[in-house]
Amino acid sequence: MDVLVVGAGPTGLALAAQLRAFGARFRIVDRAPGPVRESRALAVQPRTLEALAGFGVTDDLVARGSPALRLRLHLPRREVRLPLFDTGLAGTAYPFLLFLSQAETEHVLGAHLRARGVPVERGTALAGLRRRGPYADCLLRGADGREETLRARYVAGCDGAHSAVRDLAGIGFEGRAYPQTFLLADLEVDGLEPGAVHTYLSGAGVLFFFPLGAPAGWRILAMRPPGAPDAEVTLPLLQRIADRYTAGRARLRDPVWTTAFRIHDRGAARYRAGPCFLAGDAAHIHSPAGAQGMNTGIQDALNLGWKLALVCRGAAPEELLETYEAERAPVGRAVRRLTDLAFTFATGRGPAARFARTRLAPLLAPLVPRTAAVRRPVFRRVAELAVHYRRGPLATTGPRPPARGPRAGDRLPDLPRGLQARTAAPAWHLLLAGPPHRWPDARLAPVLDGRTDLIAVHRLGDRGPWPDTAHGLVRPDGYLGYVAGGADLAGLGAYADRWILPAEEMD
Ligand SMILES: Cc1cc2nc3c(=O)[nH]c(=O)nc-3n(C[C@H](O)[C@H](O)[C@H](O)COP(=O)(O)OP(=O)(O)OC[C@H]3O[C@@H](n4cnc5c(N)ncnc54)[C@H](O)[C@@H]3O)c2cc1C
């Protein structure tokens, strides 16, 4: 067995989809008897939609969800309407935040796996793990108590905040819990303009209404007011909170899911220990501000899956696996910083946070629609389109790099439109920009020798992402590994020799 995937939340399902696409031998198990029914994460970011498009599931996700086009910010004494994601999202086929419940996202990913003959083994928990040389002997326990030991070359811990893989591998999970308790419900709301996110800010804190669609029309998220009993979350309590913020305009009814929870901000000390890897909530948890949690987990998975699969197939050196933590741990830390900042602004009880909410926000918010230069980088960051691995070990800039266009380590933008779809097949993709006569087969031969089934070649003519003759190698997860100007492929050959093992060197 190449890989045991522990956990079939969004992270584990995405990882399984990629392992399947790259031909790894793996199993995926989940302790829970059935799929999650609660909505939980409710927004899919543009980068996640792009990344999942390679599996052919994005159209289904988009059809099931609703793109939110605007934010209505209800401030003390004024209201501001902000377009959501209206700028700075050129170069993507999905320039919107898709509101869709996590249960639906998991359903779509699960159906994709089923259609490809990959069963999710539910009611099966990882109960023990022992290192045996380079392998892991994993003890699996079924709901009926039956046990099985499975030897896996690698174990992917996609088993959430209380990860058993993390504990069994001895990896620490440092951080803190925020003092506030949050109340959440999926329900129907009368009196709100549909299709918009409604955010109410006051000195007391913040109240959100998110358009959901299924399993209910809306999600309400609020801080538990000081002095409110710790008992269950009731409709009257939520209505009292809503009344305080909306002056009675929003009428709540028909809750289908209510919960109260504390929020933690924690990160794994390492993303790997021997054969064990961590991804998703097992590696980082933080506030839901900015809808980053599930999305970051899916993108961890899509950074890891192809690396595991290609190493197991003998098509990449073991060293490739070291690049997973090097690339994804900084992203996890950046997401924790961003969400902590947003969370502190929205909920802090200190004078600075209250001043920011009640005085600064009303002054600055009306200016925001007019300041595309400010909104652009913020939207790109929240959309996770700004994530790059320029400083990672897989990014190499060759001679005479193009003055404009994507650089080594950048995500390949969908420019011109359709370029991402063209490079979605599970392989490395060699982009050759400039006149076709610059790219005769003989010139490519040394790079492709023994690697023709691993590298797809695209002669783009003048419809490439760079203005002049240039070439780049796109990794299987859609980020550029190598970029150089001109048509001399010597540097690219050295890059391929390092990271892509020709067939004759395979096991
Ligand atoms: C109330 C709530 C609201 C949220 N709202 C948002 C939001 O608005 N936006 C956002 O981005 N995120 C939100 N999140 C966070 C989001 O749900 C998580 O980031 C996301 O679920 C992480 O996915 P994951 O696959 O990494 O982990 P999980 O979804 O936790 O999946 C882990 C899986 O592992 C399984 N498992 C655990 N232990 C074992 C074991 N020993 N053996 C086998 N299987 C095991 C579990 O059964 C589970 O299915 C919310 C979370 C909660 C609880």
Kind and range of the H or E run holding 382: helix 372-382
Q: Give residue 267 CA to ligand 1 midpoint distance, Å.
A: 15
Q: Indicate the Cα dihedral angle 484, 485, 488, 491, nearest 10°.
A: -20
Q: Which ligand 1 atom sits nearest the alpha carbon of residue 165?
A: 41
Q: Give residue 74 CA to ligand 1 midpoint distance, Å.
A: 31
User: What is the spatial distance between Cα 456 and Cα 287, in angstroms, rounded to a whole number?
Assistant: 40
Single-letter amino acid code for the residue at 395: A
422: closest CA among 434, 414, 410?
414
For residue range 226-276, list pLDDT tens digits in order. Answer: 777 776 789 999 999 999 999 999 999 999 999 998 889 999 999 999 999
Q: Which ligand 1 atom sits nearest the alpha carbon of residue 30?
A: 44
- Residue with CA closest to ligand 1 atom 26: 280
Distances (CA, A) of 335 to 339, 342, 385: 6, 11, 13
42 lines ligand 1 (CB under 6 A): yes
Q: What is the pLDDT of residue 221?
A: 93
* Residues with Cβ within 8 Å of residue 399, at least 6 apart in sequence: 484, 485, 486, 488, 491
Tell how far CA 237 is from the center of its chain.
33
Q: Give residue 10 CA to ligand 1 midpoint distance, Å.
A: 7
9 lines ligand 1 (CB under 6 A): yes
Query: Are the C-beta atoms of 181 and 261 separated by less than 8 Å?
Result: yes
Q: Give residue 159 CA to ligand 1 midpoint distance, Å.
A: 8
Residue 451, SS3?
A: coil
Q: What is the pLDDT of residue 87?
A: 63
Residue 269 token pair: 């000390």
Kind and range of the H or E run holding 421: helix 419-422
Residues of the chain with pLDDT under 70: 69, 86-88, 231, 357, 363, 365-370, 504-507
Q: Give residue 116 CA to ligand 1 midpoint distance, Å.
A: 24
262 lines ligand 1 (CB under 6 A): no
**CATH 3.40.30.120 domain residues, the chain:** 396-505
Q: What is the pLDDT of residue 84?
A: 73
Q: Which ligand 1 atom sits nearest the alpha carbon of residue 281?
A: 26
Q: Give residue 367 CA to ligand 1 midpoint distance, Å.
A: 37
332 lines ligand 1 (CB under 6 A): no
261 lines ligand 1 (CB under 6 A): yes
Distances (CA, A) of 177 to 173, 228, 293, 366: 12, 20, 16, 33
Q: Give residue 428 CA to ligand 1 midpoint distance, Å.
A: 31
Query: Are the C-beta atoms of 173 and 166 separated by less than 8 Å?
Result: yes
Map 240-266 to HEC letters: HHHHHHHCCCCEEEEEEEEEEEEEEEE
**CATH 3.50.50.60 domain residues, the chain:** 3-68+98-174+265-346
Q: Which ligand 1 atom sits nearest the alpha carbon of residue 292?
A: 11
481 lines ligand 1 (CB under 6 A): no
Q: Give residue 507 CA to ligand 1 midpoint distance, Å.
A: 37
164 lines ligand 1 (CB under 6 A): yes
Tell how far CA 335 is from the center of its chain.
11
Reduced to 3 DSSP states, what percent helix, strand and coil does the chain have, rounded to the nearest 5?
35, 30, 35
Write down the architecture of domain 396-505 according to CATH: 3-Layer(aba) Sandwich (3.40)
- Residue with CA closest to ligand 1 atom 8: 41
Ligand 1 pocket: which of 122, 294, 302 to mutate (most atoms <8 Å of CB)?
294
* Residues with Cβ within 8 Å of residue 282, at least 6 apart in sequence: 7, 11, 157, 158, 159, 160, 161, 163, 165, 166, 268
Q: Give residue 450 CA to ligand 1 midpoint distance, Å.
A: 41
Q: Give residue 160 CA to ligand 1 midpoint distance, Å.
A: 5
- Residue with CA closest to ligand 1 atom 1: 40
Q: What is the pLDDT of residue 454?
A: 96
Q: For residue 466, is it left (φ>0), alpha (ψ between -120 and 50) or beta?
A: beta
286 lines ligand 1 (CB under 6 A): no
Q: Give residue 282 CA to ligand 1 midpoint distance, Å.
A: 9
Write down the architecture of domain 3-68+98-174+265-346 according to CATH: 3-Layer(bba) Sandwich (3.50)
Q: What is the pLDDT of residue 126?
A: 98
Q: Which ligand 1 atom sits nearest the alpha carbon of residue 102?
A: 17
Q: Give residue 40 CA to ligand 1 midpoint distance, Å.
A: 8
Ligand 1 pocket: which of 102, 259, 286 to mutate (most atoms <8 Å of CB)?
102
Q: Give residue 417 CA to ligand 1 midpoint distance, Å.
A: 33
Positive or negative, the Cα torsion across 65, 66, 71, 76?
Answer: negative
186 lines ligand 1 (CB under 6 A): no
Q: What is the pLDDT of residue 409?
A: 98
Ligand 1 pocket: which of 18, 30, 109 to mutate (most atoms <8 Å of CB)?
30
41 lines ligand 1 (CB under 6 A): yes
Query: Are the C-beta atoms of 484 and 398 separated by less than 8 Å?
Result: yes
Q: Give residue 6 CA to ligand 1 midpoint distance, Å.
A: 12
